[in-house]
Amino acid sequence: MEYEDNRPHWPDRRVWEVGSFRESPVDEVGVFEADSTAPPQREQAASLSNPGPGVFGGFGVMSIGMIAVGLAWFLGPALVSRYQYASASAKIRAGYDEAGNYLNDMPLNDLSTAFQMVAHRIRPSVVSIFVNSSEFPHPQMTSNEQGSGVIMSADGYILTNSHVVRNARTVQVRLEDRREYQGEVIGEDETSDLAVIRIRADNLLPAKWGDSDALEVGSMVWAVGSPYGLDQTITSGILSAKERGSELRKKDEYLQTDAAINPGNSGGPLVNSRGEVVGINTFIYGETFLGISFAVPSSIAKFVFDQIVNEGKVTRGYLGIDPRAVVHDDMIREKLPDLNGAIVTEIPVTGPAWRSDLRVGDVIRRWNGQEVRQHNMLYRLIGTTRPGSLVDVEIFRNGQPKLVRVRVGNREEYGL
């Protein structure tokens, strides 16, 4: 049986070989022979007319590339987003772990512990005071007539503000362990706004005195009390300034702090980093806390406390001068090394200073060996000097240092 060949025929088609060529029927298998003498133009023609398997392989690579580009275009943003999220999460985790290790090894942990130790040291000595009175005008008190105080002796003497217990008919004292006792007002000192009350109780833990004169501006301080009746509240800050006067009490001397103090804190202690009492919190600037609080320094508070406990009242020294602050022109004129001191502006003829060698214009630099840093500090130094004492006063007069002696009078005798 004969079969008809239905395959298409291209009579003019040739099989070209790289390097040489020869004519061949389309269905013949050509024999390749390398011949460097083959015409180059016919090589080019062969390439174009019969691309061969390499070109079709190129189309495959191009197709795969296009698919890859398509996938990247479609999946790229999601993959990038996931990569960025993973990278950010890794950074957060690394920072979290690093911070944990860092804080465990660094003294911040010790600083936190120190804060806690200050609280443990002072809180057992701090009391809440509740007063029943017929008249209670002071704006620093809360509506329920409540304040704070600090136990300063094991036999029950408590220091607080005078305005806390003024006009009191009854005084109730609550300790940190929630024991409550009736309090007795031992004495008040309106000049310093301090008072001492006493309770009859056992196992009391008194606070220790600190030295407010040694306290430097910028030092850490803690305030403890019962603001708005919230017992045993402790806040912290720094000592903002020393020897501060007030508009109403220009002759007084206060510690200024940014530790939070509010109504009800009155009478509570201001303590240093050892938990020692360096001041008694007394008033704030404004009607609510604005970051400016004032405390009677321990240099005054201890003097008043000891006087009331031992004498039942406070006796102060008196000189009868009116000092002011040293300014730059004074420093130049008097050839002073700094701005410390107090300039005498007035000497009443009836005062003790009139009988001394002090003169108007003198710059008092030291009182009884103690440096006078601010003019209002001089009031405190004179007031805490025992009446009748003979005191050495170092001054500058007409640019020259000079030593004079004065005898201190009794403030009560001058009706002050």
Q: Where in the chain is the domain with CATH 2.40.10.10?
A: 121-198, 212-311
Range from 90-104, 230-244, 269-283 carrying the lowest mean pLDDT: 90-104
pLDDT for position 101: 79
Predicted pLDDT of residue 39: 47
Judge whether 148 and 265 are in contact, CB under 8 Å: yes
Q: Decide: 405 and 367 in contact? Cβ < 8 Å.
A: no
Q: Please give the class, per CATH, of domain 317-414.
A: mainly beta
Q: Which CATH fold topology does 212-311 show?
A: Thrombin, subunit H (2.40.10)
Task: Collect all residues with Cβ–Cβ distance below 8 Å to 175 and sequence separation of at least 6.
Answer: 124, 127, 181, 201, 204
Q: Which range, 97-101, 196-200, 229-233, has the best average confidence (pLDDT)? A: 196-200
How far is Cα 248 from Cα 243, in angstroms, rounded to an integer?
Answer: 15
**Band of residue 147 on the pLDDT scale cut at 50, 70, 90:** very high
Q: Is 27 exposed, middle or buried (0-12, 13-18, 19+ CB in 10 A)?
A: exposed
**Bridge partners of residue 160, in order along the sequence:** 195
- Look at the alpha carbons of 368, 369, 375, 378 in this order and tell me if their dihedral is positive or negative: negative
pLDDT for 325 beyond 80: yes
Q: Read off the tokens for 336.
A: 């002073």
pLDDT for the residue 376: 86
- Top-confidence residue, 408 or 110: 408
Q: What is the mean pLDDT of the chain?
A: 81
Among 297, 287, 295, 359, which residue's Cα sits nearest to residue 323? 359
Give the mean pLDDT of 290-302.
93
Per-residue pLDDT, 290: 83
Task: Please state which of the ranges 6-15, 260-269, 386-395 shows the lowest mean pLDDT.
Answer: 6-15
Whether residue 275 is predicted with pLDDT greater than 70 in this model: the reply is yes
Options 193, 231, 252, 258, the catalytic residue: 193
Alpha-carbon distance 113 to 381, whole Å?
37
Is residue 52 pLDDT above 80, yes or no? no
57 vs 120, residue with greater confidence: 120
For residue 53, pLDDT beyond 60: no
Catalytic residue from among 125, 128, 148, 163: 163
Query: What is the average per-residue pLDDT within 233-258?
Result: 83
- Residue 25 in tokens: 């029927």
* Whether 163 is catalytic: yes
Specify the range with the lowest mean pLDDT, choosing from 31-40, 285-294, 388-397: 31-40
What b/e string do you get for 158-176 counting C-beta neighbours within 10 Å, with b at 16 or more? bbbbbbbbbebeebbbbbb
- How many Cα atoms occupy the beta-carbon half-sphere of 365 within 13 Å? 18
Query: Per-residue pLDDT for 84 more than 50?
Result: yes
Angle between helices 108-122 and 53-105 (to 10 degrees): 30
- Across 106-132, average pLDDT: 88
Q: Which of 128, 148, 192, 266 is catalytic?
A: 266
Parts of the chain belonging to CATH 2.30.42.10: 317-414
Q: Structurally, what CATH architecture does the domain formed by 121-198 represent?
A: Beta Barrel (2.40)
pLDDT tier for residue 68 given thresholds of 50, 70 and 90? low
Question: What band does 67 get if pLDDT is binned at 50, 70 and 90?
Answer: low
pLDDT at site 403? 96
Q: Confidence class of residue 134 from pLDDT cuts 50, 70 and 90?
A: low
Task: Tell me the sheet residues that pair with 14.
Answer: none
* 182 close to 172: Cβ distance less than 8 angstroms: yes
Provide the terminal-to-terminal Cα distance of the chain, rounded to the nearest Å.
152
Q: Give the model's pLDDT for residue 384.
A: 93
Three-class secondary structure assignment of the chain: CCCCCCCCCCCCCCCECCCCECCCCCCCCCCCCCCCCCCHHHHHHHHHHCCCHHHHHHHHHHHHHHHHHHHHHHHHHHHHHHHHHHHHHHHHHHHHHHHHHHHHHCCHHHHHHHHHHHHHHHHHHEEEEEEEECCCCCCCCCCCCEEEEEECCCCCEEEEEHHHHCCEEEEEEECCCCCEEEEEEEEEECCCCEEEEECCCCCCCCCCECCHHHCCCCCEEEEEECHHHCCCEEEEEEEEEEEECCCCCCCCCEEEECCCCCCCCCCCEEECCCCCEEEEEEEECCCCCCCCEEEEEHHHHHHHHHHHHHHCCCCCEECCCEEEECCHHHHHHCCCCCCCCEEEEECCCCCHHHHCCCCCCCEEEEECCEECCCHHHHHHHHHCCCCCCEEEEEEEECCEEEEEEEECEEHHHHCC
Percent of the chain with pLDDT strictly greater than 90: 57
Least confident residue range of 42-46, 152-156, 256-260, 348-352: 42-46
CB-based contacts of 369: which residues, under 8 Å, 6+ apart?
392
Q: Given this model, what pLDDT does residue 110 score?
A: 79
